[in-house]
Structure 1
């Protein structure tokens, strides 16, 4: 038992040390590849861009669509999590309560899919990046590793694919349509959305004005 306990302690210490090293490294260095990218059978198209080269419309769009409390929470939107759990308990369409911080932690350090073990690791990495990276870096990494289409990762690659232009010059509607597709990028059309998806993109575009007016992106630009 003593040997087993010692082994487990060393294993835990090694994991904590490695995770801290990676989080510190990626605070300054672009994330080269993620597990999601490696496991994508469609190949990888990506182009890392600093946040200064990504239009503010894209930041406003993802906050409006994914996480309106991004600048005010500590990595977890407890109300959204509770609402998602209550909704999912009723059955029907599954809703998520993950913040941009949680999605970034999952995308960079973990794998897709559920399970309590992965969720626990996601919470751990979320706490680390909130403390070590800060909000601006979290947003920068998120907009560079998020899947924006089939085999396409990041805002720059998505902007080039759908609109033939740089992410630095996205207009509000283009950014809103990209944000609308983020939860299901392999299934949702960005360039020619129809029906509910088209309306959802327009709703996000309208919310972007509120993001600017209410300063909901202040932690990214102040």
Structure 2
């Protein structure tokens, strides 16, 4: 595992990220906090592009928990059946929608604990929603971020929670809001698992290249 990079190096790395992409955005299409929550829940073990293809028609009909309840599970399945694990995801989306209607007044809560109490919503999903909708400096560590954080030395850790804490503890505060988007986009398009494109990497000179031949 790579060693944790020094604060001054981390600042230079994230200054590079900010110069190349000042306002990084998540790639899941949504219209409000509820459709974002549903999209993120559907994205587990699926690509953002695949989720977007499935949810465009769905979100044209549904934008609130009550509308999802009214739509019904079978119709939801028809919309999302191209997504992996669609039956289980449909059950969870219907359950969380009912809970939002019955216990949260139809609103998506903005606390991690409340979000994680919903079916199919784990820590990563909660962190994405808190970051993207409410602008909280939460870190949603997926496989891309876990790989980049360890390979480069930006935030090494043996599991996703350790990497999340390393990002929160070590990356300068003024970069925390966008940190997870910079890292996920870097992992998705540049620092790929099998063939990282080091030739176009804006932080190559700082990278420890752990795990790269």
TM over 0.5: no
Return the TM-score normalized by structure 1: 0.27
Q: Relative contact order, CA 8 A, sep 6+: which one is greater?
A: 1
Return the TM-score normalized by structure 2: 0.27
